[in-house]
Amino acid sequence: MVTPNVSQPSAALPGASLPGVDPSWDRYVEVLSTSPVDPAGSTYRWHVLDTHANREVDQVEATLLCVHGNPTWSYLYRSVLKVAQERFPNWRVIAVDQLDMGFSDDTGQSRTLPDRINDLGDLTRTLGLDESPVITVGHDWGGIISLGWALRHQPQLRGVALLNTAVHPAGFTLPPALQLALHPAVHRWGTQDTAAFIDVTMALAQPKLSPEIRAAYKAPYGSRERRRPVRQFVADIPATPAHPSHATLIEVAEGLRSLRVPAFFQWGPKDPVFSDRYLNDLIERLPHARVHRYEGASHLLPEDRDIATPLLEWADELPRTSTSAADASQQPASSEPLRFLSAELEARREDTTVASADILPDGTVKKASWAELSSRVERLAAGLSTLGAGPGSRVSLLVPPSTDLTAVVYACLKIGAVIVVADAGLGTKGLSRAIKGAQPQFLIGIERALVGAKVYNWPGRKIAALPFSESVAGSAKRKLLNVESDLTELEQRGHDALANGWTAPALDPDADAAVLFTSGSTGPAKGVVYTHRQLAALRDTIQTTYNLRAGTGLVAGFAPFALLGPALGAVSVTPDMDVTAPRTLTARALVDAVEAIDATAVFCSPAALENVVATAENVSLPKVSLVLSAGAPIPVPLLEKVQTIFPNATLHTPYGMTEALPIADVSLPTLREALSSGTESNGVCVGQAVSGATLKILPFGTPEDAVTESALTQDAFVSGEVVVRAPHVKERYDRLALTQAHSALIPGWHRTGDVGHYDDAARLWIEGRLQHVLTTPEGPVTPVAYELAAETVPEVARAAAVGVGPAGTQQLVVAVEVDGIKDGLAPNELAGRVRAAIQDAVPDAVPVAAVLATRIPTDIRHNSKVDRAAVARWAEAALAGGRLPARLPRAGGVRS
């Protein structure tokens, strides 16, 4: 047996020849086994990688104990050791090779889960870790082994970290990959006779592993005999209650519920073995855990992404003692009384006046009173409860804006269920990613959505928005789509439950209430979590800013505002349109919607208003007093045309994002004043902060270590990132802990990712997205002013200003969309006029290297957010003489 500070370098492992391994980490430790599977007095050599193998350990903050699964070994954690050694020298990292695995001794025994947990305890005792603070890190089946050790060593435990693992497969069908590995016809051949199991595991890496790294992983398992433990490890998967490891698995799984130390889960959602359902299970057991899902990453997460830096940064922020570690990441709940979102609806439960209206396909209008809507909400709430939905349950809603959707939303909120809303405009792939990421327990949808759920395996128990026919075909379709119930049945169940005395649960104002997905404009759509308190603050902000009072008739061509109608006491209707394709709104449909409820307020996206203007012939709606439009910049000429349709309305363009809407507002008169003031301002004027919000600028060039509240400014003409503080800003990003940490780097403020500045009249101007700022030799250049200037050329329908070339030396390229001109360099005459327009409009404009003609792609949700990233890639190819795509896709735009 060796003393804890003595290193015995491995003779079998030439660390210097393995990519990423420092030979100084390499050591063997001789350990006396206390496992009952081994003969008394057995000692085995454990191979470990240890940052402190040849260093003093007295001054370490704590030890990260990293445990691999099957068929990997300590090599999996080399990045964690490297980052610790370079940036966190007071942290010790020990990555173990479990007995029989990697370069540790082959014991010749068949080791089960309880043996492996016991083995790990033998090692830590030998290393002298039993009295020192430890954070466990586990991957694959190393996850449950590390957690088993953690539960037995709680006095010294400071935290637990997990990477793609599972603790409770009972009740789940084993993943196909593991079913195949366990099949008698394949098991021995695939896991021991050949390296197939290892090769398949290596192939899961995203991106593909280099030959050198694959060879390193396979180095310990080069012979049939050395692969015997791989086979036995697979055989130890406790798939049934009769398995010898099953009882220990259940003991660990249930023990987690009482574990109060901080937890951090990093996850690869493309893992075909440990899918998001296992992450869901872990979150249910450790709800205080910090979670980050890396889109596109798979099973070998440490190979796919940098998990080491966030892991060690998280560890370094933890309390140094165990007394207060349990709730280190939790914020104290506010004690303020809350008027919940449904308060207005409940207060008007006896009101027989109209609350909402639906325009049916045949053009008729179906109205519902406040009393009818309130009663329906109560029945649906009770019905959902009978299915097991309640506080914290996630319910994905795939129902078009309608009274049905409104009723379901408020029913969910009434019982504390969390509504999950993702726009169908994300497309099938984006929608699948969002729903699978949110992992709802229930999914309520129209038939088309239920078909999608079946085809793409979306999670959640299925509830149909409309009943299927009682015919044989209807019953077969219901069975095929795994539909458990429908809204009509839910109402009946709720009616019966109410008759038996059902009452809604008490709600926690600071509990999650909604997960709303972003438009996917700047990468994969992100889930944005709102609490009940934040939704109530959103209602109050809108009510105060726009004076939307009880009785207001609201035409909502923008889905979120349709859902807020009952909260505002407004009578709401969605016009006859596809809300996922705003350009489908016609002037006739808008007139019909206004007349259906005698509306005085209208909210539509810019693209919708553009088509309303295009289809309006002698249309005038003089009774409308307020028009709101948000989602993308709106040119003043378009607003002027909209004003002719609504001659008595005040036109406003709120500015915000899914994370906080609205946060600023500007009216048409203020826009006219800003544009005629002579003030030289780059971008789009969005006015001033709305009620309760504070907006400031984080100047360009602020060093990362200086990103603090004191760095923020409202000085005129200082450009940088827009940051906001308001009571209705999101709670967090869902299961994106690292994204959330970046956005909330300044405590109490949200970093929007938008670039802007204030002018000398304290008006905010937005210049574009931070990630689309051009880095030219002249300095940073924001694109919006160049685009707006190019769009003043009469035949230019849309423009995109992008950078081409290496960062720091990028050249400005302007792409324009003009009917009848083929993709490629724009004609000289047109290019000249575009350059002249930019020179006239943009102060100190950088030279335009090229003007290209193409269709400018925009996102589906708003049809007006320019996808600059796609344009930049296309422009790079065009200028390099590469093959051009026939058409750029109309998807994935960016907030301007």
- Segment among 452-461, 580-589, 645-654 with least mean pLDDT: 580-589
CA distance 624 to 219: 74
pLDDT at 881: 74
| Average pLDDT value for residue range 89-103 | 97
Percent of the chain clearing pLDDT 70 (strictly above) = 91
- The residue-averaged pLDDT of 609-618 equals 93
Name the fold adopted by 666-727+745-769: Luciferase; domain 3 (2.30.38)
Q: Mean pLDDT throughout 628-646?
A: 89
C-beta neighbour count of 640 within 10 angstroms: 14
Q: What is the pLDDT of residue 676?
A: 86
- pLDDT of 11: 44
- For the cut 90, the answer to whether the pLDDT of residue 688 exceeds it is yes
pLDDT at 325 over 60: no
Domain ranges of the chain: 15-172+239-317, 343-537, 666-727+745-769, 773-879
Residue pair 538/530 in contact (Cβ under 8 Å)? The answer is yes
**pLDDT(890) > 50:** no
3-class state of residue 273 by DSSP: coil
Structural fold of domain 15-172+239-317: Rossmann fold (3.40.50)
Provide the token pair at 245: 């490891």
CATH architecture of the domain 343-537 equals: 3-Layer(aba) Sandwich (3.40)
Q: How large is the average pLDDT for residues 735-757? A: 96
What's the pLDDT tens digit per position in 16-28? 478 999 999 999 9
In the prediction, which pLDDT does 168 show?
A: 76
What's the token pair of residue 46? Answer: 């454990």
pLDDT reported for residue 225: 94
Q: Are strands 848-853 and 824-825 parallel, antiparallel or unpaired?
A: antiparallel
Query: Which helix (H) or strand (E) element contains residue 685?
Result: strand 684-689
Q: Residue 203 has which token pair?
A: 């192939």
Closest CA to 465 of 395, 530, 527, 517: 395
CB 259 within 8 A of CB 282: no
pLDDT value of residue 894: 31
Report pLDDT for 169: 64
> Rounded to 5, what percent of the chain is helix, strand, coil?
35, 20, 40
pLDDT tens string 701-720:
999 899 999 999 999 999 99
pTM of structure: 0.90
Dist. CA 516–CA 658, nearest whole Å: 7
- Cβ neighbors of 15 (< 8 A, separation 6 or more) are 21, 22, 23, 24, 25, 26
The residue with greater pLDDT, 7 or 492, is 492
Answer whether residue 292 shows pLDDT above 90: yes
On average, the pLDDT of the chain sits at: 90
Report in angstroms the alpha-carbon separations of 577 from 589, 598, 609: 8, 19, 12
Could you name the CATH architecture of 773-879?
2-Layer Sandwich (3.30)
Per-residue pLDDT tens digits for 408-447: 999 999 999 999 999 888 889 999 999 999 999 999 999 9
Q: What is the pLDDT of residues 723-744, one digit of tens each?
A: 999 999 999 999 999 999 999 9
Model confidence band, residue 175 (pLDDT cutoffs 50, 70, 90): low
The confidence score (pLDDT) of residue 25 equals 95
Kindly indicate the confidence band of residue 895, based on its pLDDT and cuts at 50, 70 and 90: very low
Domain 15-172+239-317 identical in fold to domain 773-879: no
**For residue 317, which of 731, 659, 737, 752 has the smallest C-alpha distance?**
737
